[in-house]
A and B are shown apart, each in its own frame.
Chain A
């Protein structure tokens, strides 16, 4: 039976290439071959801010065709809030004023368009590495070597810091009482899940990121609002971290790591990730293999309850599993990493861990 499963990468050493792109066209400040650090500004751009459309014809009581003669400003001209944009003296004196500070950028049909001064945006590298490619005006590709772990959920933020293993057991939650002053400026590695108390304490202690297996459902909203990145490796819920990822992270206690917790589902999926740059050189870049068929001996991970946070090795497939909900599904027999028990897990609820 040919089975193609989704894949997650959790690898100790690989080549990593990441794009860093400006939201709008701007200026790239680095060159190919240059080494960069996470906080280094590598590009900048001007983000368009407020825009206002002014219906000059209506304000002055003119037809659109007659507005041209009444205008006191030109396209491209800077204006101050309250400045007269257009005026008529007859039959009554009427003026049309600028609603904001800005630049007149367009007009026509009796209208004027005023754009507020843009806001400067700085693009940071967010990664130790070397610039391998520059796309002029838009972005760069940064190349590095290290461990790469793809997550299951992220709170949308980015950052970096020194990894600190706080909970050594992968199935124990990260509680607020475990977070103390020694955590300041670090990226915490929890074992299992995270609750609201832990988030409050993390803010107080100014941590720079958190990696956990799960996230308590009642802490979801608070986690989304945190200013620092949070990467959940397994799933939302009180879920332990899977053994393979837990071992991998434990091995890098004290190293600097980058967290990219951007996360999008649906169209154009974006997965959060943790990168631990290493001095050793990886072999080829770890990418999901387009034609990777499931085979006996593959390492897999359960991605749906009740098998969340379970990893193991496929010992046989196809098999059949009857689930608690009563469905009968094609399955694989998996030898668990933690207790070496053999479990039968539906194929659709497995992914290959590479």
Chain B
């Protein structure tokens, strides 16, 4: 019988694009507990070119706070923990500090094989540098244009998909030939690799066609049958390529890998593992959702009926998304979330300043609102990408709305560092637009990816630390779904506090009600929706009783409608946003 390693203390390092975090976990009173954390700027870039330096700074902060020695004089981590209490038993390293992979997709049909390839790419730190399609509905792209796109977009990887197993051959081979020709135009040392995830019958011919013009890897067809998607093989191949060509190439990562008990894990993957784990804690018929809003990436992890989902948008971080979204989209998509007027130029300047110094934190209310507006859109866009590959089953009550989700875990500096809890919950409600009853959790100390990483080494530690309350209840949210006139009562709520007392509330359509239910307290909610309204308790008009827990922002009834619609007229809209902020105490 296998026995678990005797591990007492665990240090988790998370080397992010901007900041490196170190989290110390240890056994206190017979159970694993979060002990301390340190944070310092990541040092992967000039002038350090060594990620270990940033980690040593973060560990030094932990030493300072705890008085416990973890590093030797030369900066070496002391492993394992000595009897005197110095050092740690194990180190787990997570990383998102490497540049995302630049991937070019080449496939036959936009809505079939290319969509499946996109689902696979979304599961790792990657950006799509271009798409080549033979789909006439996407506009004809000549071979010359295809080759030019490859040569100019300079991808690191070209994924070729198309053809069911035993299906189309000639058009797929033409894509391969074009890709090989494009590769031949690029200097040898910068030439992309090819991954072929199309018609399995063509693998040998693909290798032969490409010849020595590029390195070729082959993996399972992403669409073995027209109605069957199988992106896991390609996803695994991309992950492996990312690990080899990016994580292992991070300057200083060899030292971290030497200290680490496990291979360096992408932070998003660890976060996804935690969300998957959380779903298994109560195997809810609803989905479990995690949002990790980093400076350079936004990660959406989900679990429906035990099936994990992971989407990373490396072009939409809390800091990096702003200028891009303002430049590429209709700027009003960002500015519409502000409670005050702001000129586009002013917004651009603020966001560009933040990009230049991404470790800073907004201090002025206008800058904070702008940052939170960008966060709303970054999460919305990432969710849109994620939802394309979700299979929520019965959790999807309405096709055009978000499926039932419980719990929803929010992680990331901008969310955890919101000056008032109401701001974080309102941001999440606006961006995710959940329906029914959801518990919103906040990763106040940035532990979520770390716990996902630890779960691979010591599952008990992850469970015990989750139970210890390090991830706090932000709010319980009830969202009735239906249509009514503004001001019409759509839900009657009775809150029976466990500690005594009762509260009856009539909720009018269009309102955002915040009821007191502080952390640590529980209450029984009795919900009685009006006939056409659904609170996720079995259909329209169906109510019921639910035991809920309190949170930093209390109990929120979001009757603003789904999908959420903002007033068109700017001053009315700004007044409305300000009102919602006041409602939630933001």
Contact = CB atoms under 8 A, between A and B. Distances in A.
A113 interface: yes
B365 interface: yes
Contact of B47 (A5, A288, A351): A288
A269 B142 CA distance: 36
Interface stretch (B354-362, B385-393, B444-452, B531-539): B354-362
A55 interface: yes
Interface string A241-266: 00000000000000000000001011
Given A113-B181, A266-B355, A327-B419, A304 B346 contact: no
Interface in B180-239: 180-181, 184-185, 209
A20 B214 CA distance: 31
A315 B151 CA distance: 55
B39 to A, nearest CB: 9
A218 interface: yes
Given A304-B363, A325-B363, A346-B361, A55 B99 contact: no
A111 B41 contact: no
B492 interface: no
A217 B345 contact: yes
Contact of B143 (A6, A55, A215): A55
B55 to A, nearest CB: 11
B340 interface: no
Nearest to B351: A236
A46 interface: no
A306 B143 contact: no
Contact of A51 (B57, B60, B185): B185
Given A291-B53, A327-B361, A55 B144 contact: yes
B43 A290 contact: yes
Nearest to A153: B356
A235 B353 contact: yes
B364 interface: yes
A4 B479 CA distance: 44
A326 interface: yes
Given A153-B352, A266-B355, A349 B360 contact: yes
B363 A327 contact: yes
A325 B343 contact: no
A324 interface: yes
Contact of B419 (A220, A303, A325): A325
A288 B48 CA distance: 8
Nearest to B368: A325
Interface in B121-152: 142-144, 147-148, 151
B348 A217 contact: yes
B226 to A, nearest CB: 28
A283 to B, nearest CB: 17
A238 B45 CA distance: 30
A237 B349 contact: yes
B296 interface: yes
Contacts of A266: 296, 320, 355
Contacts of A267: 17, 45, 99
A267 B143 CA distance: 32
A104 to B, nearest CB: 13
B184 A220 contact: no
Interface residues of A, number: 51
A203 interface: no
B306 interface: no
Nearest to A266: B320
B318 interface: no
B361 A4 contact: no
A81 interface: no
A323 interface: yes
A79 interface: no
Interface string B364-405: 110110000000000000000000000000000000000000
B248 interface: no
B177 interface: yes
A238 B147 CA distance: 46
B57 A265 contact: no
A106 B357 contact: no
Contact of B48 (A237, A290, A329): A290
Contacts of A30: none
A2 B143 contact: no
B355 A217 contact: no
B1 interface: no
Q: Which of B346, B352, B355, B418 is packed against the most chain A CB atoms within 10 Å?
A: B352
Contacts of B142: 55
B303 to A, nearest CB: 31
Contacts of A52: 144
Contacts of B46: 269
Nearest to B46: A269
A116 to B, nearest CB: 13
Contacts of A4: 40-41, 57
Given A324-B364, A348-B359, A106 B353 contact: no
Contact of A237 (B61, B353, B357): B353
A33 interface: no
A267 B352 CA distance: 14
B356 A152 contact: yes
A268 B345 contact: no
Contact of A305 (B45, B345, B356, B367): B367
Contacts of A303: 357, 360
A345 to B, nearest CB: 9
Contact of A287 (B17, B47, B419): B47
A61 interface: no
Contacts of B368: 325, 327
Contacts of B64: 1-2
A217 B346 contact: yes
Interface of A: 1-6, 51-55, 106, 108-109, 111, 113, 152-153, 215, 217-218, 220, 235-237, 263, 265-269, 287-288, 290-291, 303-307, 323-329, 346, 348-349, 351
Given A113-B184, A265-B355, A324-B364, 12 more contacts: A109-B180, A111-B143, A152-B356, A153-B356, A236-B349, A269-B45, A288-B48, A290-B50, A304-B353, A325-B362, A325-B367, A327-B419
- Which 6 pairs between the two chains have the least Cβ-Cβ distance? A326-B419, A217-B345, A236-B349, A217-B349, A327-B419, A323-B363
13 contacts: A2-B64, A51-B151, A111-B143, A153-B353, A217-B346, A237-B349, A263-B356, A268-B99, A290-B48, A304-B362, A305-B367, A326-B419, A326-B420
